[in-house]
């Protein structure tokens, strides 16, 4: 038996060798089957609060970077962000991250650095000519030659008279911006416009029919524009007692208007403007959309009667005439030295509350839901250079993200350039008066946060949920198949986050940019670092931001990133 077993053992390799010497092939190894279930995306019905702002939507393709910096996958995770690629919240309107120009920020086209930044940022919509000055702006009048029926003084809310201080769209001086150079700027930077026409003139004009006169001036601008601009606003914050036309001198008024404006009166006047402007657009074969000024929040005890009853009167007076409604919001308490926690808590709550209020008041006024445009936003916080800080950059991105979640048709941040005022400056760029040797048009942190957010934002907003209130997430998908996730860390501690994407087959790698503030000025750093690259000046970010390489990390073992304290990570995951 022992010998037989030996023989058997010796025969085994002989058999194997004999088989290998024949033409028979070993059976193929079956491929590993990817059993990941992927439910297809289904676009939801178009939200009426977005409406025609989606008309110029385009599919967006992500280009896999050819140059990058390898980065290791962090070990462990503090918590998880869950993304569902099949759950589409909305297609993303191209108008969702606009900005505001104004006519005291130079002729723009003469400023090569500014023009380069605007071309690169590409906010898509740039509003003009400004905020409250829109109601004292004569777009086609010769410089210092207002219409004969525009009074030399205007009445303030307290009854005092002040010089009118009119602005002129034909002014070609270097410190201001003419209407023609606004158009030139749009054309050269490949952006589109939104124009706010002078409604205040309908109130303070001293002619026989000031409303018709002001509406005719607006219609003439539509003709001159000749289809270059789709979106038009009638007036700016006209419910406010700071606005020209809020209170008028009834002794010089010839059409029996009341001393104080009301929502009802504005609504009635809006119809006159809209009729004239639409007729002008029809004459030149163009389509325009005209927006009416709406109050964005529930009345407060200190509000005037005008502001308190504005929306109700507007709906009664204007009826169905407006194509869209306009709101403004500066999020934080007025001129208070708010801390970073308070500032970063406002985008989520205030944006949702605002949209809920707008919808509720439209319903109460028996008005159908229409597109809503947030044509000015920023923060009111002052005293610690909050407005020029890294924190305001984070805030800006969150407002845009929350506007998408709540289905606004557009937003426009206020503004591109303003005035230093010891750091109480809403400007995205230094207009030239910032101290410490900072060069003119140097971008502030908000520019970098908005630019990189836009680069890694897809064309559809998809569902994302963070397990921690400290980190806010906004996820999107690209028509080319990739998935993007923006992660905003509101806390003072870094966080490592695991991103789990449902209904998606991840490819080999993911790419990302990491943004965070510097160590200057306490919690309101004037600096921003992008993948560790900063500015050589006293504020702003890296000069070579367009060529900064993204980080690249293998995705085989999951998608994890470390988000800096009070910072952001924008990432895109390859498709399989």
pLDDT tens track for 78-127: 999 999 999 999 999 999 999 999 999 999 999 999 999 999 999 999 99
Residues 79 and 144 reside in one and the same domain? no
Provide the pLDDT confidence category of residue 130 given band limits of 50, 70 and 90: very high
Cα dihedral 432, 437, 441, 444, rounded to 10, equals -110
User: What pLDDT score was predicted for residue 142?
Assistant: 97
Within a domain: residue 37? no
pLDDT digits (tens, 9 = 90+) for 337-349: 999 999 999 999 9
Within a domain: residue 542? yes
| Residue 557, domain extent | 55-91+462-575
Q: Which residues of 536-551 are buried (b: 16+ CB within 10 A; e: fewer)?
A: ebebbbbeebeebebb
Mean pLDDT calculated for residue range 6-14: 34
Residue 16 in this model has a pLDDT that exceeds 80 = no
Percent of the chain with pLDDT over 90: 94
CATH label of the domain that carries residue 533: 2.60.40.1180
Q: Cα(406)–Cα(188) distance, rounded to whole angstroms?
A: 32
Q: Cα(531)–Cα(542) distance, rounded to whole angstroms?
A: 10
Q: Cα(140)–Cα(225) distance, rounded to whole angstroms?
A: 12
Within a domain: residue 152? yes
Residues 71 and 147 reside in one and the same domain? no
pLDDT digits (tens, 9 = 90+) for 291-329: 999 999 999 999 999 999 999 999 999 999 999 999 999
User: What pLDDT score was predicted for residue 15?
Assistant: 34
Residue 32 in this model has a pLDDT that exceeds 60 = no
Residues 204 and 351 reside in one and the same domain? yes
Residues 87 and 107 reside in one and the same domain? no
Residues 80 and 134 reside in one and the same domain? no
Mean pLDDT calculated for residue range 346-357: 98
The whole-chain average pLDDT of the chain stands at 94
Within a domain: residue 218? yes
Beta bridge partners of 329: 377
Within a domain: residue 358? yes
Within a domain: residue 62? yes
Residue 5 in this model has a pLDDT that exceeds 80 = no
Mean pLDDT calculated for residue range 270-290: 98
How deeply is 74 buried, as exposed, middle or buried, from its count of CB atoms within 10 A (0-12, 13-18, 19+)?
A: middle
Residues 480 and 550 reside in one and the same domain? yes
Q: Cα(368)–Cα(383) distance, rounded to whole angstroms?
A: 42
User: What pLDDT score was predicted for residue 27?
Assistant: 57
Residues 86 and 196 reside in one and the same domain? no
Within a domain: residue 386? no
User: Which among 184, 97, 58 has a CA at the least distance from the CA of 375?
Assistant: 97
pLDDT digits (tens, 9 = 90+) for 463-487: 999 999 999 999 999 999 999 999 9
Q: Is the pTM of this model over 0.95?
A: no
- Total domains in the chain come to 2
Residue 69 in this model has a pLDDT that exceeds 70 = yes
Mean pLDDT calculated for residue range 44-48: 98
Beta bridge partners of 50: none
Residues 61 and 136 reside in one and the same domain? no
Q: Cα(15)–Cα(13) distance, rounded to whole angstroms?
A: 5
Mean pLDDT calculated for residue range 449-457: 98
Residue 9 in this model has a pLDDT that exceeds 70 = no
Mean pLDDT calculated for residue range 39-62: 98
HEC per residue, 418-480 = CCCHHHCCCCCECCCCCCCCCCCCCECHHHHHHHHHHHCCCCEEEEEEECCCCEEEEEEECCC
Within a domain: residue 246? yes
Mean pLDDT calculated for residue range 536-561: 98
User: Which among 428, 409, 410 has a CA at the least distance from the CA of 418?
Assistant: 428
Q: 3-state class of 527 per DSSP?
A: strand
HEC per residue, 100-153 = ECCCCCCCCCCCHHHHHHHHHHCCCEEEECCCHHHHHEECCCCCCCCCCCCCCE
Percent of the chain with pLDDT over 70: 94
CATH label of the domain that carries residue 173: 3.20.20.80
Domain finish residue from 339, 373, 407: 373
Q: Give DSSP secondary structure letters for 187-236.
A: HHHT-EEEEEE--THHHH--SS-HHHHHHHHHHHHHHHHTTS--EEEE-S
Residues 65 and 145 reside in one and the same domain? no
pLDDT digits (tens, 9 = 90+) for 379-400: 999 999 999 999 999 999 999 9
Distances (CA, A) of 479 to 63, 96, 457, 476, 565: 11, 18, 11, 10, 32
Mean pLDDT calculated for residue range 430-447: 98
Residues 138 and 161 reside in one and the same domain? yes
Q: Cα(528)–Cα(233) distance, rounded to whole angstroms?
A: 35
Residue 10 in this model has a pLDDT that exceeds 70 = no
Residue 335 in this model has a pLDDT that exceeds 80 = yes
Residues 82 and 116 reside in one and the same domain? no
State how far Cα 153 lies from the chain centre: 36
Residues 101 and 76 reside in one and the same domain? no
């Amino acid at each position: 038996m022992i010998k037989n077993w030996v023989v058997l053992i010796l025969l085994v390799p002989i058999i194997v060798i004999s088989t290998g010497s024949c033409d028979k092939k070993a059976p193929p190894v079956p491929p590993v089957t990817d059993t990941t279930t992927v439910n297809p995306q289904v676009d939801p019905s178009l939200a009426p609060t977005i409406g025609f702002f989606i008309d110029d939507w385009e599919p967006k393709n992500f280009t896999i970077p050819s140059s990058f910096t390898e980065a290791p996958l962090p070990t462990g995770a503090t918590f998880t962000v869950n993304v569902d690629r099949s759950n589409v919240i909305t297609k993303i309107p191209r108008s969702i991250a606009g900005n505001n120009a104004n006519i005291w920020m130079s002729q723009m086209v003469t400023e090569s650095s500014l023009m380069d930044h605007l071309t690169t940022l590409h906010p898509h919509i740039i509003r003009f000519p400004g905020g409250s000055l829109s109601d004292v702006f004569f777009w086609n009048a010769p410089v210092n030659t207002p219409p004969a029926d525009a009074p030399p003084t205007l009445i303030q809310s307290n009854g005092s008279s002040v010089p009118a201080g009119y602005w002129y769209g034909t002014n070609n001086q270097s410190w201001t911006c003419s209407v023609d150079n606004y158009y030139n700027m749009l054309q050269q930077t490949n952006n589109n416009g939104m124009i706010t026409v002078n409604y205040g003139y309908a109130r303070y004009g001293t002619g026989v029919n000031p409303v018709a006169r002001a509406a005719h001036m607006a219609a003439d601008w539509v003709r001159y524009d000749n289809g270059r601009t789709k979106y038009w606003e009638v007036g700016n914050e006209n419910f406010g007692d700071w606005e020209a036309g809020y209170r008028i001198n009834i002794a010089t008024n010839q059409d029996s208007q009341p001393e104080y404006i009301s929502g009802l009166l504005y609504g009635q006047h809006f119809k006159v403007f809209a009729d004239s402007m639409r007729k002008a657009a029809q004459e030149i074969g163009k389509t325009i959309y005209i927006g009416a000024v709406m109050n964005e929040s529930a009345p407060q005890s200190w509000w005037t009667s005008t502001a308190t009853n504005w929306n109700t009167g507007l709906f009664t007076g204007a009826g169905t005439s407006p194509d869209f409604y306009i709101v403004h919001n500066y999020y934080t308490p007025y001129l208070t030295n708010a801390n970073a926690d308070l500032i970063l808590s406002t985008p989520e709550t205030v944006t949702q509350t605002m949209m809920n209020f707008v919808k509720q008041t439209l319903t109460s006024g028996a008005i159908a839901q229409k597109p809503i445009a947030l044509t000015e936003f920023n923060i009111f916080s002052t005293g610690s250079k909050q407005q020029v800080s890294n924190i305001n950059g984070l805030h800006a991105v969150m407002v845009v993200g929350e506007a998408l979640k709540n289905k606004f048709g557009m937003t426009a941040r206020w503004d591109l350039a303003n005035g230093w005022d010891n750091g109480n400056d809403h400007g995205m760029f230094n207009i030239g008066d910032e101290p410490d040797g900072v060069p003119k048009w140097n971008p502030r942190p908000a520019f970098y946060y908005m630019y990189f957010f836009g680069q890694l934002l897809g064309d559809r907003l998809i569902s994302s949920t963070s397990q921690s209130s400290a980190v806010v997430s906004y996820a999107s998908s690209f028509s080319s198949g990739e998935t993007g996730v923006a992660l905003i860390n509101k806390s003072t501690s870094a966080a490592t986050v695991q991103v789990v994407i449902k209904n998606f087959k991840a490819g080999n790698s993911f790419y990302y940019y990491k943004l965070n503030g510097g160590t200057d000025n306490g919690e309101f750093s004037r600096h921003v670092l992008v993948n560790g690259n900063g500015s050589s000046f006293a504020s702003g970010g890296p000069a070579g931001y367009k060529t900064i390489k993204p980080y690249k990390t293998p995705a085989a073992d999951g998608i994890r990133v470390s988000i800096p304290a009070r910072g952001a990570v924008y990432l895109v995951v390859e498709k399989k």
